[in-house]
Amino acid sequence: MEPTHLFELVIAMFLAIIALHYAAHRLGLPPSVALLTGGALLAFVPGLPAISVDPELVLVIFLPPLLMDGAWAIALARLRRHMIGIASLAVGAVLFTCAVVAVVAHLIFPSLPWAACAALGAIVAPPDAVSARAVLERVKLPRRLQILLEGESLLNDASGLVLFRFAVAAAATGAFSAGEAIGSFFVLALGGAVVGVVVGTAWVKLVRRLGDEYLIIAATVLLGWISYLLGELLHVSGVIATVTTGLIASWHQHTVFSAATRMRGTSFWTVMIFLMEASVFTLIGLSLRDVVERGGGLTTVIATMGLPMLAILVILVVARFAWVFASDLVIRFCAALGVTRAQPLGAGGATVLSWAGVRGVITLALALSLPEGFPARDFILATSFAVILGTVLVQGTTLGRVIAWARLVETETERARLTMSQAEVAMVQAQLGTVQSLAYDAEGKLIHPQLLDRYQRRATVIVDYAERTEHYKPVLHAHFDVVLEAVATGRRELIRLHRAGDIDDETLDELERDLDLEELSAISAKA
Protein backbone atom coordinates (compact mmCIF):
# COMPACT_ATOMS: atom_id res chain seq x y z
CA MET A 1 0.00 0.00 0.00
CA GLU A 2 1.26 3.47 -0.90
CA PRO A 3 2.20 5.64 2.12
CA THR A 4 -0.29 8.33 1.08
CA HIS A 5 -3.06 5.74 0.79
CA LEU A 6 -2.18 4.41 4.23
CA PHE A 7 -2.40 7.91 5.67
CA GLU A 8 -5.76 8.43 3.96
CA LEU A 9 -6.95 5.16 5.47
CA VAL A 10 -5.87 6.29 8.96
CA ILE A 11 -7.76 9.58 8.56
CA ALA A 12 -10.80 7.68 7.31
CA MET A 13 -10.58 5.42 10.36
CA PHE A 14 -10.54 8.43 12.69
CA LEU A 15 -13.61 9.85 10.93
CA ALA A 16 -15.31 6.46 11.28
CA ILE A 17 -14.40 6.46 14.99
CA ILE A 18 -16.13 9.82 15.50
CA ALA A 19 -19.23 8.63 13.62
CA LEU A 20 -19.37 5.28 15.46
CA HIS A 21 -18.81 6.91 18.85
CA TYR A 22 -21.61 9.39 18.15
CA ALA A 23 -23.91 6.56 17.03
CA ALA A 24 -23.15 4.62 20.23
CA HIS A 25 -23.96 7.70 22.30
CA ARG A 26 -27.27 8.21 20.51
CA LEU A 27 -28.23 4.53 20.79
CA GLY A 28 -27.11 4.17 24.41
CA LEU A 29 -24.55 1.47 23.57
CA PRO A 30 -21.03 1.08 24.98
CA PRO A 31 -18.68 2.77 22.48
CA SER A 32 -16.48 -0.33 22.40
CA VAL A 33 -19.39 -2.35 20.97
CA ALA A 34 -20.08 0.16 18.20
CA LEU A 35 -16.39 0.49 17.33
CA LEU A 36 -15.79 -3.26 17.26
CA THR A 37 -18.85 -4.09 15.15
CA GLY A 38 -18.32 -1.04 12.95
CA GLY A 39 -14.72 -2.06 12.28
CA ALA A 40 -15.82 -5.62 11.51
CA LEU A 41 -18.40 -4.37 9.00
CA LEU A 42 -15.91 -1.96 7.41
CA ALA A 43 -13.47 -4.84 6.95
CA PHE A 44 -15.77 -6.37 4.33
CA VAL A 45 -16.51 -3.17 2.40
CA PRO A 46 -15.75 -3.90 -1.29
CA GLY A 47 -12.59 -2.20 -2.48
CA LEU A 48 -11.23 -1.56 0.99
CA PRO A 49 -7.71 -3.01 1.27
CA ALA A 50 -7.16 -5.79 3.77
CA ILE A 51 -5.79 -4.57 7.09
CA SER A 52 -2.84 -6.65 8.30
CA VAL A 53 -2.07 -5.85 11.93
CA ASP A 54 1.52 -6.30 13.11
CA PRO A 55 1.00 -7.61 16.67
CA GLU A 56 4.35 -6.40 18.01
CA LEU A 57 3.72 -2.94 16.58
CA VAL A 58 0.21 -2.86 18.07
CA LEU A 59 1.59 -3.71 21.53
CA VAL A 60 4.37 -1.12 21.32
CA ILE A 61 2.14 1.68 19.98
CA PHE A 62 -0.99 1.20 22.04
CA LEU A 63 -0.20 -0.71 25.23
CA PRO A 64 2.31 1.63 26.98
CA PRO A 65 0.24 4.85 26.89
CA LEU A 66 -2.97 3.01 27.78
CA LEU A 67 -1.30 1.29 30.73
CA MET A 68 0.23 4.62 31.71
CA ASP A 69 -3.18 6.25 31.62
CA GLY A 70 -4.67 3.52 33.80
CA ALA A 71 -1.83 3.77 36.34
CA TRP A 72 -2.10 7.59 36.32
CA ALA A 73 -5.80 7.50 37.16
CA ILE A 74 -5.80 4.67 39.71
CA ALA A 75 -6.19 5.37 43.43
CA LEU A 76 -2.82 4.36 44.86
CA ALA A 77 -3.98 4.03 48.49
CA ARG A 78 -6.79 1.67 47.51
CA LEU A 79 -4.41 -0.21 45.18
CA ARG A 80 -2.11 -0.96 48.14
CA ARG A 81 -5.04 -1.87 50.37
CA HIS A 82 -6.42 -4.42 47.89
CA MET A 83 -3.11 -5.70 46.48
CA ILE A 84 -3.76 -9.29 47.60
CA GLY A 85 -7.14 -9.37 45.86
CA ILE A 86 -5.67 -7.76 42.73
CA ALA A 87 -2.79 -10.27 42.67
CA SER A 88 -5.31 -13.09 43.05
CA LEU A 89 -7.06 -11.91 39.88
CA ALA A 90 -4.02 -10.75 37.91
CA VAL A 91 -1.95 -13.89 38.58
CA GLY A 92 -4.13 -16.59 40.15
CA ALA A 93 -7.19 -16.15 37.92
CA VAL A 94 -5.04 -15.95 34.78
CA LEU A 95 -3.14 -19.15 35.67
CA PHE A 96 -6.34 -20.98 36.60
CA THR A 97 -8.20 -19.86 33.46
CA CYS A 98 -5.24 -20.76 31.27
CA ALA A 99 -5.14 -24.27 32.78
CA VAL A 100 -8.90 -24.81 32.45
CA VAL A 101 -8.99 -23.63 28.82
CA ALA A 102 -5.96 -25.80 27.98
CA VAL A 103 -7.65 -28.89 29.45
CA VAL A 104 -10.93 -28.23 27.61
CA ALA A 105 -9.10 -27.54 24.32
CA HIS A 106 -7.21 -30.84 24.70
CA LEU A 107 -10.47 -32.69 25.40
CA ILE A 108 -12.02 -31.21 22.24
CA PHE A 109 -8.91 -31.88 20.11
CA PRO A 110 -6.97 -34.77 21.72
CA SER A 111 -4.36 -34.63 18.95
CA LEU A 112 -3.53 -31.00 19.74
CA PRO A 113 -0.20 -30.72 21.65
CA TRP A 114 -0.47 -29.56 25.24
CA ALA A 115 1.80 -26.62 24.48
CA ALA A 116 -0.64 -25.36 21.82
CA CYS A 117 -3.55 -25.80 24.26
CA ALA A 118 -1.61 -23.82 26.87
CA ALA A 119 -0.86 -21.10 24.30
CA LEU A 120 -4.59 -20.76 23.60
CA GLY A 121 -5.28 -20.55 27.33
CA ALA A 122 -2.60 -17.87 27.81
CA ILE A 123 -3.98 -15.85 24.89
CA VAL A 124 -7.59 -15.71 26.09
CA ALA A 125 -7.01 -15.77 29.88
CA PRO A 126 -6.11 -12.12 30.72
CA PRO A 127 -8.94 -9.57 30.61
CA ASP A 128 -7.79 -6.48 28.75
CA ALA A 129 -6.97 -3.06 30.22
CA VAL A 130 -8.44 -1.18 27.25
CA SER A 131 -11.64 -3.21 27.21
CA ALA A 132 -12.04 -2.94 30.98
CA ARG A 133 -11.68 0.85 30.83
CA ALA A 134 -14.19 1.08 27.99
CA VAL A 135 -16.73 -0.89 30.02
CA LEU A 136 -16.06 0.67 33.44
CA GLU A 137 -16.28 4.29 32.27
CA ARG A 138 -20.01 3.82 31.61
CA VAL A 139 -20.97 2.13 34.88
CA LYS A 140 -20.90 3.04 38.57
CA LEU A 141 -19.26 0.51 40.88
CA PRO A 142 -18.39 0.48 44.56
CA ARG A 143 -14.78 1.54 45.12
CA ARG A 144 -13.61 -1.94 46.08
CA LEU A 145 -14.85 -3.57 42.87
CA GLN A 146 -13.58 -0.63 40.83
CA ILE A 147 -10.05 -0.92 42.18
CA LEU A 148 -10.02 -4.73 41.84
CA LEU A 149 -10.94 -4.50 38.15
CA GLU A 150 -8.63 -1.58 37.42
CA GLY A 151 -5.69 -3.16 39.24
CA GLU A 152 -6.27 -6.52 37.58
CA SER A 153 -6.37 -4.99 34.10
CA LEU A 154 -3.08 -3.17 34.75
CA LEU A 155 -1.11 -6.19 35.97
CA ASN A 156 -2.56 -9.31 34.37
CA ASP A 157 -1.05 -8.60 30.95
CA ALA A 158 2.35 -9.48 32.42
CA SER A 159 1.02 -12.89 33.54
CA GLY A 160 -0.53 -13.60 30.15
CA LEU A 161 2.59 -12.56 28.23
CA VAL A 162 4.89 -14.76 30.34
CA LEU A 163 2.59 -17.78 30.02
CA PHE A 164 2.25 -17.24 26.29
CA ARG A 165 5.99 -17.02 25.66
CA PHE A 166 6.68 -20.19 27.65
CA ALA A 167 3.90 -22.05 25.82
CA VAL A 168 5.24 -21.02 22.40
CA ALA A 169 8.77 -21.99 23.45
CA ALA A 170 7.50 -25.35 24.73
CA ALA A 171 5.73 -25.98 21.41
CA ALA A 172 8.98 -25.29 19.56
CA THR A 173 11.30 -27.30 21.86
CA GLY A 174 8.95 -29.86 23.34
CA ALA A 175 10.14 -29.04 26.86
CA PHE A 176 8.35 -27.14 29.62
CA SER A 177 9.24 -26.51 33.26
CA ALA A 178 6.58 -25.10 35.59
CA GLY A 179 9.20 -24.14 38.18
CA GLU A 180 11.25 -22.30 35.58
CA ALA A 181 8.14 -20.45 34.35
CA ILE A 182 7.18 -19.32 37.87
CA GLY A 183 10.73 -18.24 38.66
CA SER A 184 10.99 -16.39 35.37
CA PHE A 185 7.73 -14.56 36.06
CA PHE A 186 8.95 -13.22 39.39
CA VAL A 187 12.32 -12.19 37.91
CA LEU A 188 10.60 -10.40 35.03
CA ALA A 189 8.13 -8.68 37.37
CA LEU A 190 10.82 -7.59 39.85
CA GLY A 191 13.08 -6.38 37.04
CA GLY A 192 10.19 -4.46 35.49
CA ALA A 193 9.41 -2.80 38.81
CA VAL A 194 13.05 -1.72 39.20
CA VAL A 195 13.07 -0.23 35.69
CA GLY A 196 9.80 1.56 36.44
CA VAL A 197 11.19 3.07 39.64
CA VAL A 198 14.33 4.30 37.86
CA VAL A 199 12.42 5.84 34.93
CA GLY A 200 9.75 7.37 37.18
CA THR A 201 12.34 8.90 39.52
CA ALA A 202 14.31 10.28 36.58
CA TRP A 203 11.11 11.83 35.19
CA VAL A 204 10.37 13.60 38.48
CA LYS A 205 13.88 15.09 38.59
CA LEU A 206 13.72 16.08 34.90
CA VAL A 207 10.31 17.79 35.14
CA ARG A 208 11.48 19.88 38.09
CA ARG A 209 14.29 21.24 35.94
CA LEU A 210 12.60 21.69 32.54
CA GLY A 211 10.54 24.74 33.46
CA ASP A 212 8.73 24.92 30.09
CA GLU A 213 5.21 23.46 30.27
CA TYR A 214 5.22 22.18 26.68
CA LEU A 215 8.50 20.34 27.24
CA ILE A 216 7.04 18.87 30.43
CA ILE A 217 3.91 17.69 28.61
CA ALA A 218 6.02 16.18 25.79
CA ALA A 219 8.29 14.37 28.27
CA THR A 220 5.27 13.00 30.11
CA VAL A 221 3.60 11.78 26.91
CA LEU A 222 6.77 9.85 25.99
CA LEU A 223 7.17 8.42 29.49
CA GLY A 224 5.10 5.24 28.99
CA TRP A 225 6.90 4.26 25.78
CA ILE A 226 10.33 4.94 27.30
CA SER A 227 9.59 2.74 30.31
CA TYR A 228 8.06 -0.07 28.24
CA LEU A 229 10.81 -0.14 25.60
CA LEU A 230 13.57 0.02 28.21
CA GLY A 231 12.00 -2.86 30.12
CA GLU A 232 11.73 -4.99 26.98
CA LEU A 233 15.29 -4.05 25.97
CA LEU A 234 16.55 -5.31 29.34
CA HIS A 235 14.42 -8.48 28.97
CA VAL A 236 12.17 -7.74 31.94
CA SER A 237 8.45 -6.99 32.02
CA GLY A 238 7.72 -3.84 30.05
CA VAL A 239 4.15 -3.96 31.37
CA ILE A 240 5.23 -3.86 35.03
CA ALA A 241 7.83 -1.19 34.21
CA THR A 242 5.20 1.04 32.60
CA VAL A 243 2.68 0.57 35.40
CA THR A 244 5.30 1.31 38.06
CA THR A 245 6.44 4.43 36.23
CA GLY A 246 2.83 5.56 35.87
CA LEU A 247 2.17 5.14 39.59
CA ILE A 248 5.26 7.18 40.51
CA ALA A 249 4.43 9.93 38.02
CA SER A 250 0.83 10.07 39.19
CA TRP A 251 1.91 10.42 42.82
CA HIS A 252 4.31 13.30 42.09
CA GLN A 253 2.37 15.17 39.38
CA HIS A 254 0.45 17.14 42.02
CA THR A 255 3.69 18.75 43.19
CA VAL A 256 5.75 19.03 39.98
CA PHE A 257 3.04 20.29 37.58
CA SER A 258 1.85 23.87 37.48
CA ALA A 259 -1.88 24.55 37.08
CA ALA A 260 -1.40 25.53 33.42
CA THR A 261 0.66 22.41 32.69
CA ARG A 262 -1.94 20.19 34.31
CA MET A 263 -4.87 21.74 32.40
CA ARG A 264 -3.16 21.75 29.00
CA GLY A 265 -1.55 18.36 29.50
CA THR A 266 -4.79 16.75 30.64
CA SER A 267 -6.67 18.10 27.61
CA PHE A 268 -4.06 16.81 25.17
CA TRP A 269 -3.68 13.46 26.92
CA THR A 270 -7.44 12.86 27.13
CA VAL A 271 -7.93 13.33 23.39
CA MET A 272 -4.90 11.17 22.56
CA ILE A 273 -6.08 8.32 24.79
CA PHE A 274 -9.60 8.57 23.37
CA LEU A 275 -8.27 8.15 19.81
CA MET A 276 -5.94 5.33 20.82
CA GLU A 277 -8.61 3.36 22.68
CA ALA A 278 -11.08 3.81 19.85
CA SER A 279 -8.45 2.84 17.27
CA VAL A 280 -7.71 -0.39 19.13
CA PHE A 281 -11.34 -1.57 18.93
CA THR A 282 -11.65 -0.48 15.32
CA LEU A 283 -8.44 -2.33 14.37
CA ILE A 284 -9.70 -5.44 16.14
CA GLY A 285 -12.85 -5.28 14.02
CA LEU A 286 -10.89 -4.62 10.83
CA SER A 287 -8.70 -7.64 11.51
CA LEU A 288 -11.76 -9.94 11.29
CA ARG A 289 -11.38 -10.12 7.54
CA ASP A 290 -7.89 -11.59 7.82
CA VAL A 291 -9.02 -14.09 10.47
CA VAL A 292 -11.99 -15.22 8.37
CA GLU A 293 -9.92 -15.55 5.20
CA ARG A 294 -7.35 -17.66 7.04
CA GLY A 295 -10.15 -19.98 8.17
CA GLY A 296 -11.51 -20.44 4.63
CA GLY A 297 -14.43 -18.01 4.77
CA LEU A 298 -17.09 -17.11 7.32
CA THR A 299 -19.34 -20.08 6.51
CA THR A 300 -16.47 -22.54 6.81
CA VAL A 301 -15.25 -21.01 10.06
CA ILE A 302 -18.70 -21.24 11.65
CA ALA A 303 -19.37 -24.75 10.35
CA THR A 304 -16.03 -26.26 11.35
CA MET A 305 -15.05 -24.21 14.40
CA GLY A 306 -18.31 -22.73 15.71
CA LEU A 307 -19.06 -25.22 18.47
CA PRO A 308 -15.46 -25.53 19.75
CA MET A 309 -15.13 -21.72 19.81
CA LEU A 310 -18.41 -21.42 21.71
CA ALA A 311 -17.25 -24.08 24.18
CA ILE A 312 -13.99 -22.18 24.83
CA LEU A 313 -15.90 -18.92 25.32
CA VAL A 314 -18.33 -20.52 27.78
CA ILE A 315 -15.61 -22.30 29.77
CA LEU A 316 -13.64 -19.05 29.88
CA VAL A 317 -16.54 -17.28 31.58
CA VAL A 318 -17.25 -20.27 33.86
CA ALA A 319 -13.59 -20.46 34.95
CA ARG A 320 -13.59 -16.80 36.00
CA PHE A 321 -16.83 -17.30 37.95
CA ALA A 322 -15.36 -20.37 39.64
CA TRP A 323 -12.17 -18.55 40.66
CA VAL A 324 -13.92 -15.42 41.94
CA PHE A 325 -16.59 -17.28 43.92
CA ALA A 326 -14.04 -19.74 45.34
CA SER A 327 -11.82 -16.83 46.41
CA ASP A 328 -14.80 -15.14 48.03
CA LEU A 329 -15.58 -18.33 49.97
CA VAL A 330 -11.98 -18.46 51.20
CA ILE A 331 -12.22 -14.84 52.37
CA ARG A 332 -15.52 -15.58 54.12
CA PHE A 333 -14.00 -18.62 55.85
CA CYS A 334 -10.86 -16.71 56.94
CA ALA A 335 -12.95 -13.79 58.19
CA ALA A 336 -15.08 -16.18 60.26
CA LEU A 337 -11.91 -17.58 61.84
CA GLY A 338 -10.57 -14.09 62.49
CA VAL A 339 -7.56 -14.62 60.22
CA THR A 340 -8.36 -11.56 58.09
CA ARG A 341 -10.40 -8.38 58.42
CA ALA A 342 -11.28 -8.40 54.72
CA GLN A 343 -14.97 -8.72 54.01
CA PRO A 344 -16.28 -11.06 51.30
CA LEU A 345 -17.80 -9.48 48.20
CA GLY A 346 -21.04 -11.39 48.50
CA ALA A 347 -22.95 -13.04 45.65
CA GLY A 348 -23.78 -9.75 43.91
CA GLY A 349 -20.25 -8.34 44.03
CA ALA A 350 -18.68 -11.64 42.97
CA THR A 351 -21.10 -11.90 40.04
CA VAL A 352 -20.27 -8.40 38.83
CA LEU A 353 -16.53 -9.02 39.20
CA SER A 354 -16.83 -12.29 37.29
CA TRP A 355 -18.95 -10.81 34.49
CA ALA A 356 -16.56 -7.90 33.91
CA GLY A 357 -13.76 -9.99 32.39
CA VAL A 358 -13.76 -8.50 28.90
CA ARG A 359 -10.99 -9.42 26.42
CA GLY A 360 -9.41 -7.15 23.83
CA VAL A 361 -6.14 -5.99 22.30
CA ILE A 362 -3.77 -8.28 24.27
CA THR A 363 -5.71 -11.36 23.17
CA LEU A 364 -5.67 -10.27 19.53
CA ALA A 365 -2.01 -9.25 19.53
CA LEU A 366 -0.84 -12.51 21.13
CA ALA A 367 -2.92 -14.61 18.73
CA LEU A 368 -1.58 -12.78 15.68
CA SER A 369 2.00 -13.14 16.93
CA LEU A 370 1.85 -16.95 16.79
CA PRO A 371 4.55 -18.15 14.38
CA GLU A 372 3.55 -19.61 11.03
CA GLY A 373 3.19 -23.36 11.25
CA PHE A 374 2.18 -23.28 14.93
CA PRO A 375 -0.22 -26.17 15.69
CA ALA A 376 -3.89 -25.22 15.12
CA ARG A 377 -2.90 -21.57 14.46
CA ASP A 378 -6.06 -20.83 12.45
CA PHE A 379 -8.31 -22.27 15.16
CA ILE A 380 -6.52 -20.26 17.84
CA LEU A 381 -6.86 -17.09 15.76
CA ALA A 382 -10.57 -17.64 15.13
CA THR A 383 -11.22 -18.57 18.77
CA SER A 384 -9.37 -15.49 20.01
CA PHE A 385 -11.49 -13.21 17.86
CA ALA A 386 -14.67 -15.03 18.93
CA VAL A 387 -13.70 -14.53 22.59
CA ILE A 388 -13.11 -10.80 22.05
CA LEU A 389 -16.34 -10.43 20.10
CA GLY A 390 -18.37 -12.47 22.59
CA THR A 391 -17.10 -10.80 25.76
CA VAL A 392 -17.35 -7.24 24.37
CA LEU A 393 -20.76 -7.67 22.75
CA VAL A 394 -22.38 -9.78 25.47
CA GLN A 395 -20.67 -8.86 28.74
CA GLY A 396 -19.92 -5.28 27.73
CA THR A 397 -23.54 -4.51 26.84
CA THR A 398 -25.10 -6.28 29.84
CA LEU A 399 -22.72 -5.32 32.65
CA GLY A 400 -24.86 -2.31 33.55
CA ARG A 401 -27.91 -4.54 33.99
CA VAL A 402 -25.92 -7.02 36.09
CA ILE A 403 -24.77 -4.16 38.34
CA ALA A 404 -28.35 -2.91 38.69
CA TRP A 405 -29.50 -6.45 39.57
CA ALA A 406 -26.74 -6.85 42.17
CA ARG A 407 -27.80 -3.67 44.04
CA LEU A 408 -24.28 -3.10 45.27
CA VAL A 409 -23.62 -0.72 48.17
CA GLU A 410 -20.43 1.02 49.26
CA THR A 411 -18.98 -0.49 52.42
CA GLU A 412 -18.01 1.81 55.28
CA THR A 413 -14.35 0.74 55.09
CA GLU A 414 -14.14 1.97 51.49
CA ARG A 415 -15.56 5.41 52.23
CA ALA A 416 -13.06 8.20 52.68
CA ARG A 417 -12.82 9.65 56.20
CA LEU A 418 -13.79 13.11 54.96
CA THR A 419 -16.46 14.08 52.46
CA MET A 420 -15.68 16.55 49.70
CA SER A 421 -17.33 19.35 51.66
CA GLN A 422 -15.30 18.55 54.77
CA ALA A 423 -12.10 18.45 52.72
CA GLU A 424 -12.99 21.82 51.22
CA VAL A 425 -13.46 23.23 54.75
CA ALA A 426 -9.98 22.02 55.75
CA MET A 427 -8.46 23.48 52.59
CA VAL A 428 -10.14 26.89 52.95
CA GLN A 429 -9.27 27.17 56.64
CA ALA A 430 -5.62 26.48 55.79
CA GLN A 431 -5.78 29.18 53.12
CA LEU A 432 -7.37 31.59 55.59
CA GLY A 433 -4.57 30.93 58.07
CA THR A 434 -1.99 31.87 55.45
CA VAL A 435 -3.86 35.04 54.41
CA GLN A 436 -4.28 36.08 58.06
CA SER A 437 -0.54 35.73 58.63
CA LEU A 438 0.33 37.76 55.53
CA ALA A 439 -2.41 40.40 55.69
CA TYR A 440 -0.45 42.48 58.24
CA ASP A 441 2.94 44.15 57.84
CA ALA A 442 5.84 43.91 60.30
CA GLU A 443 4.32 46.64 62.52
CA GLY A 444 0.99 44.81 62.73
CA LYS A 445 -0.87 47.14 60.37
CA LEU A 446 -3.56 45.55 58.18
CA ILE A 447 -2.44 46.03 54.58
CA HIS A 448 -4.75 43.60 52.77
CA PRO A 449 -8.20 44.18 54.32
CA GLN A 450 -10.24 43.23 51.26
CA LEU A 451 -8.30 40.02 50.71
CA LEU A 452 -8.64 39.04 54.36
CA ASP A 453 -12.34 39.84 54.33
CA ARG A 454 -12.87 37.76 51.20
CA TYR A 455 -11.19 34.67 52.65
CA GLN A 456 -13.00 35.06 55.99
CA ARG A 457 -16.37 35.23 54.26
CA ARG A 458 -15.47 32.31 52.03
CA ALA A 459 -14.46 30.17 55.02
CA THR A 460 -17.70 31.04 56.84
CA VAL A 461 -19.86 30.16 53.83
CA ILE A 462 -18.08 26.84 53.16
CA VAL A 463 -18.27 25.74 56.79
CA ASP A 464 -21.99 26.51 56.82
CA TYR A 465 -22.46 24.61 53.54
CA ALA A 466 -20.61 21.55 54.87
CA GLU A 467 -22.92 21.46 57.89
CA ARG A 468 -26.13 21.83 55.84
CA THR A 469 -25.21 20.39 52.44
CA GLU A 470 -28.64 18.98 51.55
CA HIS A 471 -30.34 22.28 52.43
CA TYR A 472 -28.04 24.30 50.17
CA LYS A 473 -27.75 21.96 47.19
CA PRO A 474 -30.83 23.22 45.24
CA VAL A 475 -29.85 26.85 45.89
CA LEU A 476 -26.26 26.14 44.90
CA HIS A 477 -27.29 24.50 41.62
CA ALA A 478 -29.51 27.46 40.77
CA HIS A 479 -26.67 29.83 41.66
CA PHE A 480 -24.21 28.16 39.30
CA ASP A 481 -26.83 27.90 36.56
CA VAL A 482 -26.91 31.71 36.65
CA VAL A 483 -23.10 31.80 36.65
CA LEU A 484 -23.01 29.59 33.55
CA GLU A 485 -25.56 31.79 31.79
CA ALA A 486 -23.49 34.85 32.68
CA VAL A 487 -20.36 33.17 31.32
CA ALA A 488 -22.16 32.33 28.06
CA THR A 489 -23.36 35.95 27.75
CA GLY A 490 -19.86 37.27 28.40
CA ARG A 491 -18.44 34.90 25.78
CA ARG A 492 -20.98 36.08 23.18
CA GLU A 493 -20.10 39.71 23.92
CA LEU A 494 -16.37 39.01 23.61
CA ILE A 495 -16.89 37.34 20.25
CA ARG A 496 -19.07 40.27 19.08
CA LEU A 497 -16.36 42.75 20.06
CA HIS A 498 -13.72 40.67 18.26
CA ARG A 499 -15.79 40.28 15.11
CA ALA A 500 -16.43 44.03 15.09
CA GLY A 501 -12.69 44.68 15.31
CA ASP A 502 -12.92 46.39 18.72
CA ILE A 503 -10.51 43.96 20.43
CA ASP A 504 -7.53 42.01 19.09
CA ASP A 505 -6.87 38.25 19.21
CA GLU A 506 -4.65 38.49 22.30
CA THR A 507 -7.38 40.21 24.31
CA LEU A 508 -9.95 37.69 23.14
CA ASP A 509 -7.72 34.73 24.11
CA GLU A 510 -6.86 36.14 27.53
CA LEU A 511 -10.42 37.01 28.54
CA GLU A 512 -11.85 33.84 27.06
CA ARG A 513 -9.40 31.78 29.14
CA ASP A 514 -10.73 33.52 32.27
CA LEU A 515 -14.27 32.65 31.21
CA ASP A 516 -13.26 29.04 30.54
CA LEU A 517 -11.81 28.71 34.05
CA GLU A 518 -14.95 30.25 35.54
CA GLU A 519 -17.13 27.88 33.52
CA LEU A 520 -15.12 24.81 34.55
CA SER A 521 -15.27 25.91 38.19
CA ALA A 522 -19.06 26.32 38.02
CA ILE A 523 -19.57 22.95 36.33
CA SER A 524 -17.34 21.27 38.93
CA ALA A 525 -19.25 22.94 41.78
CA LYS A 526 -22.58 21.65 40.39
CA ALA A 527 -21.34 18.06 40.10
Give me the amino acid identity at 383.
T
Distance CA 228, CA 220 (A): 14
Contact 119, 167 (CB under 8 A): yes
Q: What is the pLDDT of residue 430?
A: 87
Tell me the pLDDT tens digit for each residue of 459-503. 888 888 777 777 777 877 788 889 889 989 998 998 988 888 888
Residue 98: pLDDT band with limits 50, 70, 90 = very high
Distance CA 422, CA 121 (A): 49
- Indicate the average pLDDT of the chain: 84
Q: Is 183 a residue whose pLDDT tops 90? A: no
Distance CA 224, CA 239 (A): 10
Give me the amino acid identity at 290.
D
Tell me the pLDDT tens digit for each residue of 104-144. 999 999 988 888 898 999 999 988 766 666 666 666 778 88
Q: Which residues contact 464 (CB under 8 A, 6 or more apart)?
A: 472
* Segment 67-85 mean pLDDT: 84
Q: What is the pLDDT of residue 413?
A: 59
Tell me the pLDDT tens digit for each residue of 365-377. 788 788 878 888 8
CB atoms within 10 A of CB 146: 18
Which of the pair, 208 or 344, is modelled with greater confidence?
Answer: 208
Q: Is 84 a residue whose pLDDT tops 70? A: yes
Q: Which residues contact 496 (CB under 8 A, 6 or more apart)?
A: none
Tell me the pLDDT tens digit for each residue of 396-419. 888 888 888 888 776 655 566 666
Q: What is the pLDDT of residue 412?
A: 54
